[in-house]
Structure 1
Amino acid sequence: MIQTAPYGLQMSDLYLFNKGCSYHSYRFMGAHVMDVVGEIGVRFAVWAPNAREVRLVGDFNGWNGSGSLMERVSSTGIWVIFIPGLGEGVVYKYEVITSSGEHLLKADPYAFLAERRPQTASVVSNLSGFPWRDKKWVDTKQQRPSYSNPLLVYEVHAGSWKLKGKEDFLTYDEMAEQLVPYAAEMGYTHIELMPINEHPFDQSWGYQITGYYAPSSRYGRPKQLMHFIDCCHAKGIGVILDWVPGHFCKDAHGLRRFDGTPIYEGADEKLADKPLWGTLAFDFKRNEVVSFLISNAIYWMDVFHFDGLRIDAVASMINLHMDKPPELFTWNEFGGIDNLDALRFMKRLNETVFHYYPEALMIAEDSSAWPAVTSPTYLGGLGFNFKWNMGWMNDFLRYMSTDPADRSHHHHLLTFSLLYAFSENYVLPLSHDEVVHGKRSLLNKMPGTYEEKFAQLRLLYGYWIAHPGKKLLFMGGEWGQFDEWKDRDPLDWMLLDYELHAKMQDYVRVLNHVYTKEQSLWERDQDATAFQWIDVNNAEQSIISFIRYGRQGFSVTVANFSRNGYSNYRLGVPQPGCYRMILNSNEEQFGGSDSRSTQQYDSEKVGWHGYNQSISIYLPPLSFQLFSFVSGDTH
């Protein structure tokens, strides 16, 4: 017989929560509208193991909790109360009386909704009953392994993609009406939302969270977010949530010293404090914290139908010294700097997510050299299925920022990534981190004249698309945002009134659709035998060329990173036949100078680049060209 706690709580659920094995704890923790012995009301449950007393306060009792004392459930550390007559929309907090007698007002860690900032209370919200229409999407997704399918992510900060006025944000509904069709038209397969978990400070971009289970009320209500995701799925677009399990902010109403003691962050201040960010790290060895975080990952997929998570700052989680001054250094039990508790947490996180959602995307934002991040845990890996390729991003942007006249001396920055491109399942990120804090926008990183900047950005995007690995581009990059990203202002949409910016957007649209249609660019991303250099060593001319093989066909890429053009550039090809140009970054419609008079090239039996066959092409300066092999019959 299952022992029950007050008001329908199951002792078995609380036991698993305390053991770190409750992966759906949001179903019983927090505020739930329910029927208890024939009375409709709200049951509240909160974990505060070291509190002397916990009271419920809110607009329903004039913020006086003297008559709303919560009951402690034996030794679980969980406090519970049921208030009949309450319902959705009630504003509340927990008044926690610490062991020393201090009174703390805390938001609900499991709240499904919070007041709009600067207010900080929690709001009762019923998440059931949304009429999902995405069964076809879910069924299709389960039949399409992510490794062998295109992944082209549009990274979006909801607070600045568009604004209606100063701090007048688009709602989730308005994003469904505007952002979703735009992303579909542009050819993106996924939208990644920068953290929309409730956060008090706009300029944290959502990375310093107080409400892990609450979609930010800046943009509307939880069911409006469900509507946004449902609309994405109807258009064939997946949705990824930027997720931050590494640390949380120190705001008084949040998780910090929640019951007067450090239960979420742990007692060791050196381990907990992250001064560079002004945050506190989660205590990954605490069972209840593990239940809280893994349940949160499951929650976004279970309740909101998110298709995956991009896990922020993995390197900072696994390295005890990263982002810390020497006086805060700690070591593990073996004298090393690896956070063993964080590593165990990440393995269990991925094992659990893939148990419930085998088709989920679990993407590590990891700048470390930790091996096997995307290998299964049973093979000793961390169990993610994708990892951001930060090394490629740093090298390539450094190369592209170099004047073309000097690039011959830095050719290794272009080619080095292929030495490790197949060691993990990589995503190639051109993210928000690269266009803030004085780093300049992608367009403005490009050297040279105004026209050369655009030519080189088109080249950059072409090489990015053709390079092995999945793709991510931050909003605004698609038309050449000239200024850095300004998180308080909307993107500079007015730039589309200028010819080269409009043509850049057209180029990216065409490039995106070429990517999703050309199977060789994604079908065998993780297969080293599906990539072959044509010419890797041409540093003198700053030209590079290679082949990408799909299961049935192949494509040929040639990229010229110099200011020199070649009217009869000979390119070795692996098979005799017809090669069709499917993209040329120098076309007039994209802002270049080519009218694209020649679209197909028959190979000749002229040995070149180690192949018996070759084609002769016009190779413009600062250009990217992509060819598809059509057939073995020349004509």
Structure 2
Amino acid sequence: MLTESNHSSGNASKFQTEVEPGRVLTMPTDGTGVAVLDPWLEPFTGALRHRYALFQKYKKMINESGGGYENFTKGYDYFGFHVQKDNSVLYREWAPNATGASLIGEFNNWDHGANVMKKDDYGSFSVVVPPKSDGSVAIPHNSKVKISLVMPNSGERADRLPAWSKRVVQDLNVNPNYEAVFWNPGKQYVFKNKQPPKPKSIRVYEAHVGISTSEYRVGTYKEFTQNILPRIANLGYNTIQLMAIMEHAYYASFGYQVTSFFASSSRYGDPEDLKELIDTAHGLGITVLLDVVHSHASKNVHDGLNMFDGTDHMYFHGGGKGNHDLWDSRLFNYGAYEPLRFLLSNLRYWMNEFQFDGFRFDGVTSILYKHHGMGYGFSGDYREYFNESVDEEGVMYLMLANDMLHQLYPNVITIAEDVSGMPALCRPVPEGGVGFDYRLAMAVPDMWIKMLKEQSDDEWKMGEVIHTLTNRRHLEKNIVYAESHDQALVGDKTLAFWLMDKEMYDFMSKLSPNTPIIDRGIALHKMIRLITHSLGGEGYLNFEGNEFGHPEWLDFPRPGNNSSFHHARRQWNVVDDPLLRYKYLNEWDRAMQLAEAAYGWLSSHQAYVSLKHEGDKVVSYERAGLVFIFNFHPTQSFTDYRIGVETPGEYKLVLDSDSSIFMGHNRIDENGSWFTTPEPWNNRSNYIHVYIPCRTAIVLTTKQNLKWSQKDMVVSYKD
């Protein structure tokens, strides 16, 4: 709710905003509203006002010269290829420094003189290719096309892939580079399902289409639709984050070296197949996000944007400012008109043409700072976020992107991958924030890996775990995760591998003994995920396969591994095998998602932590009407352990990590009841006594609040 008002005192106009249910604040309209929420920002109101003024300047430019967001961000309707009513084809391309251009392709036998383009005053070339003599479309569907540009200074010709290409393909038998094709299918995919409502509690399944097969090859969109979407729906995730969709020439880049920004990767199928995937997910009630890469671009020249018109400063900054030394890639000039239109139009394209529901923005730290986060350790000092190291144009671009998306698509979701912790990153732009809905809680997986690498179980410090999981800004939403794709990559280990390592190869079969290492690994894998899920944020993320403790790391085919696909796949066979123990972790993950769907702890207020006992290794907290109790002690179980609770009454079991359906030891009666005693304990009004075995987590709720429990589950695995 935003309501503007003018005050007769002569102060700047203000507006009222509901920052959380029932709490309305009055804020100034000059970009310093976030300082009303966070008094620590008060010394930096000048910087906040300055960056908001820059945002307003560019938004005014878009409104006055670009026709507003609606027109300016539809550059794909102006540039690129467009079939006209008479079946002629209009093609436009911005290449301001080129001195000449021709459209060439299979349709004109690559003749540079056949379809010469004209250049306008703004640096855009255009040409109309007339229809064929029989009246059919001038350029055949799926035929190869290029733009041939006359380079400045040298006068030499260089062929480029059209920057707005919607389809590029690779034929390794002919050329390792990608080639653009004219995409004009006679029958385009028709969406059948409505986009689902914006989830209140976002449970994200991070997925990569190419690795989503057990076979030694690249998976396809159709296979993902048929085989993986049902798995995700069964697990209870309500959101998918699709990685490596924007076309990238180097498969091992994980999709982060984009060459063609408007083309969906042809490795997995054609654009219509991707549309079917998204539409099918929507039919299952699943929101679909695109992992969008606007932080940098591939340095490729022949099949990328680099040196497109013969200069290094067309879409990117020129000279050293335009190079990302760590990533060996090019950096966009966010303050220039056409690059800005290109990037904002790219967001609209994926939303409109493919009906994505939002974006996870990659590499946001690189956009926010001139040092791009390279070799810089953020301490949390607010001065780090408001100094000469901040890239004001990068911040402005992200504000514009979020403002545009939320204005045109009220249900859009945007997530920032940022390691810096910039305050107000996830507050609305009118308040002076950058406008994201969520940020990734990137410190949490680092904490778990560090503990597993460097500490024995009895050295774990409950206070440090709780601090890391709860150390976030109120009113800025976090998506928390125990591990993502970053921890799955070769050179690191997944949590399952840190916990069980090589014993996973020999002792994950039910026919083999349950060794102490496997028993510990299974127990802690479940507990780490539950405490992360329920305490660490307002959203949760899992990378595909990690839910069942995927047995191996992720490594794409590359020269260093003899182009092997062995680790560039997901081994669904191990979770489907009734003789293996992976299924129990999979079922626990499913139980967590179903419990969250019933109780909504992610969309509830942050938890109240009543206990973090270092000696006993016991943690207890309340959230969304639930009581979460963890005993991380490696050997000590506790009987009649006193737990403070606020709500009086009879408590029932919701989840028990020690249940045999999750490969536990069945030490807790799932039909039992826990009754409160009306005496204060640990700053709560009542207490209960519980039996809490070692390496066990239980979740309780009052009998009146019992909406769902693990007893309601129909186990989805075969035993």
Q: Which of 444, 460, 472 pairs up with 2:541?
A: 472
8 Å Cα contact 1:20-1:291 kept in structure 2: no
Q: Root-mean-square deviation (CA), in Å?
A: 2.6
Structure 1 residues 284 and 78 mapped into 2: Cα distance closer, same or farther (>3 Å)? same
User: Aligned-pair distance for 1:408?
Assistant: 4.4
Structure 1 residues 163 and 76 mapped into 2: Cα distance closer, same or farther (>3 Å)? farther
The residue aligned with 1:47 is 94
Give the Cα–Cα distance (whole angstroms) in 1 for the partners of residues 532 and 207 of structure 2: 19
Greater displacement, 61-70 / 603-612: 603-612
The residue aligned with 2:381 is none
8 Å Cα contact 2:443-2:468 kept in structure 1: no
State the SS of the aligned residue for 2:330: strand
Structure 1 residues 202 and 617 mapped into 2: Cα distance closer, same or farther (>3 Å)? same
User: Aligned-pair distance for 1:606?
Assistant: 5.0
Give the Cα–Cα distance (whole angstroms) in 1 for the partners of residues 375 and 681 of structure 2: 55
User: Aligned-pair distance for 1:153?
Assistant: 0.7
The residue aligned with 2:156 is 102
Structure 1 residues 19 and 155 mapped into 2: Cα distance closer, same or farther (>3 Å)? closer
The residue aligned with 1:91 is 144
Within the alignment, does 1:462 sit opposite 2:530 as a pair?
Answer: yes
Give the Cα–Cα distance (whole angstroms) in 2 for the partners of residues 88 and 614 of structure 1: 71
Greater displacement, 218-227 / 257-266: 257-266
How do 1:330-409 residues align onto structure 2 when only pairs under 5 Å count? 336-401=388-453, 403-409=455-461
Deviations 1:128-184 (A, max 9, x none): 85321123x35xx1xx5x4xx121111111111215443xx3321221111111111
Q: Which of 113, 117, 126 pairs up with 1:80?
A: 126
How do 1:579-618 residues align onto structure 2 when only pairs under 5 Å count? 579-594=651-666, 596-599=668-671, 600-618=673-691
Greater displacement, 398-407 / 61-70: 398-407
How do 1:440-451 residues align onto structure 2 when only pairs under 5 Å count? 440-446=493-499, 449-451=517-519
Give the Cα–Cα distance (whole angstroms) in 1 for the partners of residues 92 and 547 of structure 2: 46
Within the alignment, does 1:623 sit opposite 2:696 as a pair?
Answer: yes
State the SS of the aligned residue for 1:306: coil
User: Aligned-pair distance for 1:192?
Assistant: 0.7
User: Aligned-pair distance for 1:523?
Assistant: 3.0
The residue aligned with 2:330 is 280
Give the Cα–Cα distance (whole angstroms) in 1 for the partners of residues 233 and 147 of structure 2: 43
Greater displacement, 409-418 / 281-290: 409-418
Deviations 1:20-51 (A, max 9, x none): 9710111121112222xxx3132211110110
User: Aligned-pair distance for 1:485?
Assistant: 2.0
State the SS of the aligned residue for 2:642: strand
Within the alignment, does 1:570 sit opposite 2:642 as a pair?
Answer: yes
The residue aligned with 1:523 is 603
Deviations 1:360-407 (A, max 9, x none): 011001101211000111211101111111123323443455545443
Structure 1 residues 292 and 632 mapped into 2: Cα distance closer, same or farther (>3 Å)? closer
The residue aligned with 1:556 is 627
The residue aligned with 2:270 is 221
Deviations 1:221-257 (A, max 9, x none): 1111111100000001111100000100111221001
User: Aligned-pair distance for 1:631?
Assistant: 3.0
Within the alignment, does 1:547 sit opposite 2:596 as a pair?
Answer: no
User: Aligned-pair distance for 1:19?
Assistant: 11
8 Å Cα contact 1:247-1:280 kept in structure 2: yes
8 Å Cα contact 1:32-1:124 kept in structure 2: no
Structure 1 residues 632 and 375 mapped into 2: Cα distance closer, same or farther (>3 Å)? closer
Deviations 1:563-595 (A, max 9, x none): 121132221111221111111111111111015
Give the Cα–Cα distance (whole angstroms) in 2 for the partners of residues 15 and 336 of structure 1: 30
Q: Which amino acid aligns with 1:546?
A: Y
Give the Cα–Cα distance (whole angstroms) in 1 for the partners of residues 181 and 654 of structure 2: 53
Within the alignment, does 1:482 sit opposite 2:551 as a pair?
Answer: yes
Within the alignment, does 1:174 sit opposite 2:243 as a pair?
Answer: no
Q: Which runs of 5+ in 1 are unaligned?
A: 1-11, 327-333
8 Å Cα contact 1:18-1:288 kept in structure 2: no
Greater displacement, 601-610 / 174-183: 601-610
8 Å Cα contact 1:311-1:365 kept in structure 2: yes
8 Å Cα contact 1:107-1:121 kept in structure 2: yes
Within the alignment, does 1:506 sit opposite 2:582 as a pair?
Answer: no
8 Å Cα contact 1:274-1:324 kept in structure 2: no
State the SS of the aligned residue for 2:87: strand
The residue aligned with 1:4 is none
8 Å Cα contact 1:578-1:601 kept in structure 2: yes
8 Å Cα contact 1:409-1:539 kept in structure 2: yes
State the SS of the aligned residue for 1:580: strand
Structure 1 residues 369 and 510 mapped into 2: Cα distance closer, same or farther (>3 Å)? closer
Structure 1 residues 589 and 342 mapped into 2: Cα distance closer, same or farther (>3 Å)? same
8 Å Cα contact 1:242-1:312 kept in structure 2: yes
How do 1:13-24 residues align onto structure 2 when only pairs under 5 Å count? 16=66, 22-24=72-74
Give the Cα–Cα distance (whole angstroms) in 1 for the partners of residues 648 and 282 of structure 2: 42
8 Å Cα contact 2:395-2:434 kept in structure 1: yes
8 Å Cα contact 2:323-2:330 kept in structure 1: yes
The residue aligned with 2:611 is 535
The residue aligned with 1:9 is none
Aligned length: 592
The residue aligned with 2:14 is none
User: Aligned-pair distance for 1:114?
Assistant: 0.6
8 Å Cα contact 1:441-1:485 kept in structure 2: no
The residue aligned with 1:3 is none
The residue aligned with 1:329 is none
8 Å Cα contact 1:462-1:585 kept in structure 2: no
User: Aligned-pair distance for 1:61?
Assistant: 2.0
Deviations 1:451-490 (A, max 9, x none): 1011100001111221132001001111111321233421
User: Aligned-pair distance for 1:445?
Assistant: 2.2
Structure 1 residues 230 and 86 mapped into 2: Cα distance closer, same or farther (>3 Å)? same
User: Aligned-pair distance for 1:15?
Assistant: 6.0
Give the Cα–Cα distance (whole angstroms) in 2 for the partners of residues 267 and 172 of structure 1: 35
Q: Which of 151, 171, 178 pairs up with 1:120?
A: 178
State the SS of the aligned residue for 2:586: helix
Greater displacement, 443-452 / 281-290: 443-452
The residue aligned with 2:18 is none
8 Å Cα contact 2:439-2:479 kept in structure 1: yes
Q: Which of 344, 348, 354 pairs up with 1:304?
A: 354
Give the Cα–Cα distance (whole angstroms) in 1 for the partners of residues 105 and 437 of structure 2: 43
State the SS of the aligned residue for 1:495: helix
Deviations 1:178-199 (A, max 9, x none): 1111111111101111121111
For normalisation by structure 2, the TM-score amounts to: 0.78
Structure 1 residues 102 and 540 mapped into 2: Cα distance closer, same or farther (>3 Å)? farther
Percent of aligned pairs sharing the same letter: 25
For normalisation by structure 1, the TM-score amounts to: 0.88
User: Aligned-pair distance for 1:493?
Assistant: 2.5
Q: Which of 58, 62, 66 pairs up with 2:113?
A: 66
Give the Cα–Cα distance (whole angstroms) in 1 for the partners of residues 151 and 582 of structure 2: 58
Give the Cα–Cα distance (whole angstroms) in 2 for the partners of residues 187 and 304 of structure 1: 23
Give the Cα–Cα distance (whole angstroms) in 1 for the partners of residues 473 and 447 of structure 2: 13
State the SS of the aligned residue for 2:126: strand
Structure 1 residues 602 and 325 mapped into 2: Cα distance closer, same or farther (>3 Å)? closer
Q: Which amino acid aligns with 2:615?
A: E
Q: Which amino acid aligns with 1:562?
A: H
